[in-house]
Amino acid sequence: MTETASPSLPPRPRMRSRPLRRLPTLALAAAAAGAVLPAAAQELSWSTYGTLAYARSDRDFHYLRSIDRSGSASRDTVLGLQGDLRLSPQWAATAQLKLEPSSKADARWALKPAWAFLAWRPDDDWMLRAGRLRLPIYLHSEAMDVGQSHDMARLPAELYTVVPVPDYEGGNVSRGWVLDGGGTERELTVEAFGGRARSTARFWLRDGLPPQLPAGAVFWPVRVQLGGLAVTLRQPDLLLRSSLTRTALHRTDGQGMAVDYPYVALAPGLGYYQVSDALPGPGVVSRARIHNTLFSIGAEWSLGQGWRVTGEFVRDVQHDTVFGADATAGYLALFRQLDRLTPYVSVARRSSRQAGFDWHQRLLANPLPASVPGAATINAAQRVAAETHWLTDQASVALGAAYALTPAVKLKAEWLHTRIGQLSQLVDTPPGAQTPGRTCVNVWSVNLNYAF
């Protein structure tokens, strides 16, 4: 879901993994449905997909969690298995398991369900799905894990990390219309979706606040309630999608979400921002829930002669607070298919609200002198608060190519040049270093993608 507003120094969360526990429930429901339908109509089919990837950069700091100078296979590697049980022409159940780097810990892998849902199509036009589903926000939302289904070595991080964990548990109702215009068949689909999601917000603390918060990556579980509408138009040479989603996010440990830090003056020109109720001061202003409104629009247009252009834009408006995920992001990519080879070039940009950067600066710019009792703790707490604001200001250009070894296997390679502006939450600050800003990172990626 959309990343959270800055929590105020929470305790380390308990790590829970509920989605897998719900799989038996869905399997039971599918089995029950199957039991009442003619056995001859049932059909189980399996498919598998995967990306075997390697990426390295020219910098020592981690970019996108794991890419650095020493190289990493874990950023883009994913293995998936999908089972489709057709119970009748109208009823079907789908479950997809994937193995990928854990969203709850660095250097760990997790097997988790991407999807697990029951689908009912009462007729050609309507489809109702319930279970664990993918949010239909981006052009490649549903198949973003299936690298074989698109040509980019990595979908632009500037846009595709605005909603970093796009699965939810709930329902999706879609209605389709076939529009016949001038001999071109167009298919218009409107989807209404709603439910809730458990997500994990990852933050990188350069110094932390030992012993309560160690330095390094921290993972705070959050819960999101969401609802929205998506409209998709498909025709042979054009794919258009737009969506509007409303979310309400709260922490699962019962603590509020900080929306303002009061200034505590100690002397003229000397003071600090109270970022935690554990620090002296009038109290952190917080809310139980933070709301976001997310608008997206994207198009993929085939221009003929093998040329294709893709562009997406997303605006994530964070209400209630200036701390957090408010972001504007987009990219434009141009592809040219030459038989099996598809080279491409893309540009991408993402920026957060300036008020967020101002707060970040405010919290780090004026540390208390060491002579003030408790200064070290207060300064560290202010840095932690600043680092838990989800702020990103960066732009990228990528040159790459996909080569179809077979219809089911693609080999891709890409050079990505990213310019970090004020700062980027997609970069981890090394211990003792300044927060990377006004700098660049080059990333070389190669991956093998398949889907059978």
Partner 1 sequence: MHHGFPCPCPAAAAPRRWRRARRLATGLALALLWPALTAGAGEPVPVLIASPGVPRLDTATVARLYTGRAIEIAGQPVTVANAAPGSALRQRFLAVYLKQDEDAYRAYWTVRRHVGKGAPPRELASSAELIDWVQHHPGAIGYVDATELRPGLNVVARP
Q: How far is the CB of 338 from partner 1 (least distance, A)?
A: 15
Instruction: Print the binding letters for residues 174-203 with partner 1: x by CB under 8 A, - otherwise.
Output: --x-x------x-x----------------
Site membership for partner 1, residue 373 (CB under 8 A):
no
**Minimum distance of partner 1 from residue 52's CB (angstroms):** 17
Q: Give the chain's end-to-end CA distance (angstroms, integer).
A: 29
62, 86, 104, 389: residue in contact with partner 1 (rule CB under 8 A): 86
In the bound complex, what is the minimum distance in angstroms from residue 136's beta carbon to partner 1? 9
Query: Which pair of structure tokens corresponds to residue 205?
Result: 């603390």
Q: In the bound complex, what is the minimum distance in angstroms from residue 94's beta carbon to partner 1?
A: 6
**Closest to partner 1 by CB, 178 or 303:** 178
Please state the three-class secondary structure of the chain as a single string.
Answer: CCCCCCCCCCCCCCCCCCHHHHHHHHHHHHHHHHHCCCHHHCEEEEEEEEEEEEEEECCCCCECCCECCCCECCCCCEEEEEEEEECCCCEEEEEEEEEEECCCCCCCEEEEEEEEEEEECCCCCEEEEEEEEECCCCCCCCCCCCHHHCCCCCCCHHHHCCCCCCEEEEEEEEEEEEEEECCEEEEEEEEEEEEEEEEEEEEEECCCECCCECCEEEEEEEEEEEEEEEEEEEECCEEEEEEEEEEEEEECCCCCEEEECCEEEEECCEEEECCCCCCCCCCCEEECCEEEEEEEEEEEEEEECCEEEEEEEEEEEECCCCCCCCEEEEEEEEEECECCEEEEEEEEEEEECHHHHHHHHHHHHCCCCCCCCCHHHHHHHHHHHHHCCCCEEEEEEEEEEEEEEECCEEEEEEEEEEEEEEEECCECCCCCCCCCCCEEEEEEEEEEEEEC
Q: Taking CB under 8 A as the rule, does residue 82 contact partner 1?
A: yes
Which range binds partner 1 by CB under 8 A, 80-88, 163-171, 347-355, 380-388? 80-88
One of 19, 88, 260, 319 touching partner 1 (CB under 8 A) = 88
CB of 170 to partner 1, least distance (A): 14
Q: How far is the CB of 367 from partner 1 (least distance, A)?
A: 50
Nearer to partner 1, 178 or 440 (CB): 178
Q: Is 160 among the residues that bind partner 1 (CB under 8 A)?
A: no
Least separation in angstroms between CB 451 and partner 1: 5
Q: What is the CA radius of gyration of the chain?
A: 23
Q: How far is the CB of 109 from partner 1 (least distance, A)?
A: 21
Q: Which of 127-135, 349-357, 362-370, 391-399 is the region at the interface with partner 1 (rule: CB under 8 A)?
A: 127-135
| Span interacting with partner 1, options 60-68, 86-94, 151-159, 368-376, rule CB under 8 A | 86-94
The contact mask relative to partner 1 for 26-65 (x = CB under 8 A, - = no) is --------------xx-x-x-x-x----------------
How many residues touch partner 1 (CB under 8 A)?
A: 38
Separation of alpha carbons 347 and 240, rounded Å: 19
Within residues 379-408, the interface with partner 1 by CB under 8 A covers: 407-408
Gap between the Cα atoms of 240 and 298, Å rounded: 6
Of 65, 75, 104, 129, which one interacts with partner 1 (CB under 8 A)?
129
| Out of 90, 242, 255, 377, the residue judged to bind partner 1 by CB under 8 A | 90
Choose which of 2, 6, 8, 94 interacts with partner 1 (CB under 8 A).
94
* Alpha-carbon distances of 77 from 177, 204, 269, 372, 437, rounded to whole Å: 37, 22, 51, 49, 28
Do 278 and 384 meet the contact criterion of CB atoms below 8 Å apart?
no
Q: Please give the Cα distance from 133 to 356 (Å, whole number).
A: 32
Query: Minimum distance between the CB of residue 36 and partner 1, rounded to whole angstroms?
Result: 15
Among 126-134, 270-278, 288-296, 438-446, the segment contacting partner 1 (CB under 8 A): 126-134
Give the shortest CB-115-to-partner 1 separation in angstroms.
6
Residue 15 CB, shortest distance to partner 1, in Å, is 28
Residues numbered 106 to 125 that lie near partner 1 (CB under 8 A) are 115, 117, 119, 121, 123-124
Residues that bind partner 1 (CB under 8 A): 40-41, 43, 45, 47, 49, 82, 84, 86, 88-90, 92, 94, 96, 115, 117, 119, 121, 123-124, 127, 129, 133-134, 142-143, 145-146, 148-149, 176, 178, 185, 187, 407-408, 451
